[in-house]
Structure 1
Amino acid sequence: MEVTIQNGSVVYYPAVEEGITWSTERKGSPGQLNFTVLKDKDLNFQEGNLVMLNVDGQGVFKGFVFTKKRNKGNTITVTAYDQLRYFKNKDTIQYKNITATELVKRIADDFKLNVGELEDTGSKITRIEENKTLFDIVQTALDLTLHNKEKMYVLYDDFGQLTLKNVESMKLDILIDDDTAEDFDYTSSIDGETYNKIKLSYENEKTGKRDIYIAQDSSNINSWGVLQYFETIDEKVNGKAKADALLQLYNRKTRSLTVKRVFGDARVRAGCSVPVHLSLGDMIVKNYMMVEKVKHSFNERDHWMDLILRGGGFIA
């Protein structure tokens, strides 16, 4: 592992304490690098300076110093983010008949960000976004693309270049099982977004009455009690179809899975899919799962990952 910091034309190779961490999330957050350096008389760097992490000679992280933290000791703890940090900026954007790919290119040009491989999402979109973060603006376009094309795309920073890829092209051959993972946290619950009764209401101005649409699962009501979802709808919505669709979506337990201290692989980032084969007690997982969040921990002699996974009935 090698961390470099560049201040102007000067490149530093600081002495870094054990415990470097690199984290990514599938949406809404930049890649983050945390490390602690030993301060000496020659080391001089500032917020905004370029930071790079190389692992086994391969570029893993490229970003910028955003926070420096010091105490009485002779160390500086650094937090650096990749280019996606600038997607926290807010703006008002109006666009017409362009793809999410073209939207990312436009934003990158406006904010002077470096662009790498951007796959063509194909679906044309027209929107007005007012006072939204760039993260939210792009994610809305990607969500609409998912709805229109049934394809999911992930925006991330690949060593200093904005990259947009279909998740289907991000599968890895890293098996996560009882041998490669030290521990896991598995939770099943009906306490979150679980509903066995859907009730939709529409104020019908023509009849002067309130139209009610209900979909429910009597079996799960007997098992769990009534867990009701309620929403008001407008006349453009097919109430019965929406109620049935919401029941199909929410009438189940929610499950979450975090796998801890997996053997590290620097190719793993949020948005990748990995094969998982784990016995969780009440079920066995044996399929590809998407990495929603990953935290890499680098030490002198080892490299571990903590993963939050989704898919196959699991949510993040």
Structure 2
Amino acid sequence: MAELTTLSVNSRGSSQQWDIKSLATNMSYVKDSNFAAGELTFDVLEVNEGWTPQNGDEVHMSWDGVKVFFGYIFKIGYSGDEKFSITAYDKLRYLKNQDSIVWPAGTVSQRFSTVCNLAGITSRVVSSSSHKLSAKVADGVSYFDMMQDDIKETKSATGQQFFIRDNYGVVELAKMPVKKTDLLIGDGSLLTDWSYDRSIDDAANVVKVVKNSKKDQGKSTSTATDSASEAKNTVLTSQSSVGGTTARWGRLQVVEKVSDDKMNAAAMKAKANQILAEKNKETRSLKITALGTLEIDVGDSFWLSVNSLADIGVGKRQVTVTKVTHKFDPKNWTMDLEVQV
């Protein structure tokens, strides 16, 4: 039977650790590839041994002999039944720090290393990118926001899906899937429940790229009373791309504004085609509940085989984990997985 191997807390830099594994209950661990810190939550009964948790304390947690979580306490609740409710985050939490940076042209892996150094966290580039990102200004936004834009642009240009995760105190930039496992989850193999959704709520099959130009570049307006003259002085040019799903879904149009006044029609058309390729598709969501295992992490893939899904066209295949929630109970260890289909 799986069990909690280590759960200890100590002040930063202190060698004195408090072993609280025998006091902990209701332990849950959430790890998400969508620019969010890993979160460990648990309850601890108060004991009269001089220990009280403090925000900023380090938390070390191992399950079944495997190191799972290293992070810091960010929230402490205390209730009438003399129980502490603790929330700790891994080092990705420090990528919520905000900054202003003028970025030269560079790759997503170069920028990742820079923001981790600025945030003061240990990092490792598991997968690097050779795609050059344009120079830009990031003003007063979080490191997460900076990386999200760069990862999105890299995916659009290369098709490669990068993401960020914490590996027991080392923040990693990696590419999905990081590891292709032989693990099988499905009928008669770990699976206990599942749900599958398909949606076009966020889809688009018509993309219009619009450029705003001024007839008289030497004049500008800044007040509401000038709106009529501004309209007379404005020229809108556009290029559109139309997908093949309009007859089936109806017209679903989005507009992309470009700030480059010198962008020509061919470049605008290419941009419209690129956005259309990203948006003219269903969003598919598959959530799985299974018996717990540490064989897979966020970013890893496993084999999925469910007869009922095969009946609607989702046959046996490898899928990649985008989010995992472990509910660490020695009597009933389960995990909820969100996967890319």
| Smaller-chain TM-score bracket | 0.7 to 0.9
Q: Tell me, yes or no, if the aligned pair for 1:16 and 1:35 is still in contact at 8 Å.
A: no
1:104-153 CA distance string (max 9 Å, x none):
33333333222345443334443321111011122333334434554333
- 2:304 aligned with 1:303: no
Q: Which residue of 2 aligns with 1:47?
A: 55
DSSP 3-state at the match of 2:312: coil
Which of 184, 202, 208 is 2:194 aligned to? 184
Q: Which residue of 1 aligns with 2:89?
A: 81
- 2:74 aligned with 1:66: yes
Q: Tell me, yes or no, if the aligned pair for 1:263 and 1:303 is still in contact at 8 Å.
A: yes
Which of 229, 250, 267 is 2:279 aligned to? 250
- 2:148 aligned with 1:139: yes
Which of 26, 51, 68 is 1:19 aligned to? 26
TM superposition shift of 1:39: 0.8
Instruction: Identify the range of structure 1 (176-185 vs 223-232) with the bigger mean alpha-carbon deviation.
Output: 223-232
- 2:250 aligned with 1:225: yes
Which of 263, 283, 297 is 1:269 aligned to? 297
Distance 1:187 1:57, change over 3 A: same
Q: Which residue of 2 aligns with 1:170?
A: 179
Return the letter of the residue paired with 2:37: P
User: C-alpha separation between the residues in 1 aligned to 2:58 and 2:240?
Assistant: 56
User: C-alpha separation between the residues in 1 aligned to 2:68 and 2:18?
Assistant: 18
Q: Which residue of 1 aligns with 2:323?
A: 293
Q: Tell me, yes or no, if the aligned pair for 1:259 and 1:306 is still in contact at 8 Å.
A: yes
Q: Tell me, yes or no, if the aligned pair for 2:109 and 2:125 is still in contact at 8 Å.
A: no
TM superposition shift of 1:11: 0.9
Return the letter of the residue paired with 2:175: N
Q: Which residue of 1 aligns with 2:8?
A: 4
Q: Tell me, yes or no, if the aligned pair for 1:18 and 1:300 is still in contact at 8 Å.
A: no
DSSP 3-state at the match of 1:169: coil
Q: Tell me, yes or no, if the aligned pair for 1:195 and 1:247 is still in contact at 8 Å.
A: yes
Q: Tell me, yes or no, if the aligned pair for 2:95 and 2:144 is still in contact at 8 Å.
A: yes
User: C-alpha separation between the residues in 2 aligned to 1:187 and 1:59?
Assistant: 34
Q: Which residue of 1 aligns with 2:225?
A: none
> Which residues of structure 2 form unaligned runs of 5+?
216-233
Q: Which residue of 2 aligns with 1:314?
A: none
User: C-alpha separation between the residues in 2 aligned to 1:44 and 1:111?
Assistant: 28
1:73-95 CA distance string (max 9 Å, x none):
02111000011101100001223
Instruction: Report the count of equivalent residues.
Output: 307
Return the letter of the residue paired with 2:38: G
Return the letter of the residue paired with 1:5: V
TM superposition shift of 1:302: 2.9
Q: Tell me, yes or no, if the aligned pair for 2:37 and 2:89 is still in contact at 8 Å.
A: yes
> Which residues of structure 1 form unaligned runs of 5+?
312-316
Instruction: Identify the range of structure 1 (32-41 vs 270-279) with the bigger mean alpha-carbon deviation.
Output: 270-279
User: C-alpha separation between the residues in 1 aligned to 2:338 and 2:170?
Assistant: 24
**Greater gyration radius:** 2
Instruction: Identify the range of structure 1 (287-296 vs 138-147) with the bigger mean alpha-carbon deviation.
Output: 138-147
What percent identity do the matched residue pairs reach?
Answer: 25
Distance 1:40 1:210, change over 3 A: closer
Q: Which residue of 2 aligns with 1:101?
A: 109
User: C-alpha separation between the residues in 1 aligned to 2:240 and 2:110?
Assistant: 41
User: C-alpha separation between the residues in 1 aligned to 2:206 and 2:175?
Assistant: 35
Instruction: Identify the range of structure 1 (110-119 vs 87-96) with the bigger mean alpha-carbon deviation.
Output: 110-119
DSSP 3-state at the match of 1:137: helix
Q: Tell me, yes or no, if the aligned pair for 2:177 and 2:299 is still in contact at 8 Å.
A: no
User: C-alpha separation between the residues in 2 aligned to 1:298 and 1:30?
Assistant: 19
Q: How does 1:107-146 map to 2 (within 5 A)?
A: 107-116=115-124, 118-125=126-133, 126-146=135-155
TM superposition shift of 1:33: 0.3
Instruction: Identify the range of structure 1 (92-101 vs 158-167) with the bigger mean alpha-carbon deviation.
Output: 92-101
Q: Tell me, yes or no, if the aligned pair for 2:286 and 2:340 is still in contact at 8 Å.
A: yes
For normalisation by structure 1, the TM-score amounts to 0.84
